[in-house]
Amino acid sequence: MQDEEKNQNAGGTATGEEAQPTGAESPAEPPKNPNMKWYIIHAYSGFERKVKESLESRVQAFGLQDKIGKVLIPTESVTEVRGGKKYTSERMFYPGYVLVEMDMDDHVWHVVKATPRVTGFVGTGQQPTPLSDEEVGHIVYKVADSREKPKLKVKFEKNETVRISEGPFATFTGIVDEVNEDRETVKVMVTIFGRSTPVELEFGQVEKVA
């Protein structure tokens, strides 16, 4: 009985994992067709998701599952701090572009090009240019990295007054002395025991004083 329960539990765990694939991992999977390469198509800005849905429907309708693989809209997680609370949302880092994995030929080219709200391929002249393995890896890595550590959409400036919201100095106010956008940190001058002391904090640990 114990073995059966273990097997049932193991099966349940596996099912849960399969039900939650991450968009960052899927582009890295090997394609069914080894001739497939990644191409970039232009889409009307704001209609990227509609283009993705339309293209996936056309793949089914034309039976092109072996010629067109994944359709990807590269996005990054962005966290905004509003009223002391963090809100995370997805933002496209290549607005107006959709990545499509395909084994390119004239028929596939026409099917994709004729998709509503698609304006064309990225490439020279009439010849679409596939992405290099390095470019694909960079985009996939960027998607994965942003999901693990969302960017904070906030702008701090030197000499700005801020309030510390987390850590041992929570509720203290101070003056921004340095901003490091790459590391997403700020150095805040805080008055402690009558002395001005520099404290390095992450963007998420401080908030602007209205």
DSSP 16-35: HHHT---TTTGGGSPPSSTT
Output the average pLDDT for the chain: 78
* Every domain range in the chain assigned CATH 3.30.70.940: 23-152
C-beta of residue 123 within 8 angstroms of C-beta of residue 169: no
C-beta of residue 110 within 8 angstroms of C-beta of residue 118: no
Q: Which range in 63-67, 122-126, 166-170 is most confidently predicted, on average pLDDT?
A: 63-67
Separation between Cα atoms, residue 80 and residue 207, nearest integer Å: 10
Separation between Cα atoms, residue 166 and residue 179, nearest integer Å: 18
DSSP string, 91-143: EESSTTEEEEEE---HHHHHHHHTSTTEEEESEETTEE-PPPHHHHHHHHHHH
Residue 76, CA distances (Å) to 17, 26, 80, 142, 143 in order: 22, 15, 13, 8, 6
Q: Domain spanning 161-208 has what CATH number?
A: 2.30.30.30
pLDDT in tens, 43-57: 998 899 999 999 999
Separation between Cα atoms, residue 13 and residue 20, nearest integer Å: 11
* Every domain range in the chain assigned CATH 2.30.30.30: 161-208
pLDDT in tens, 179-204: 887 777 889 999 887 888 888 888 88
Beta-carbon-side half-sphere exposure of residue 102 (alpha carbons within 13 Å): 27
Candidates 163, 161, 200, 167; CA nearest to 184 is: 200
Separation between Cα atoms, residue 187 and residue 174, nearest integer Å: 10
Say yes or no: domain 23-152 is CATH 1.10.15.40.
no
pTM value is 0.54
- Give 10 or 178, the one with higher predicted confidence: 178
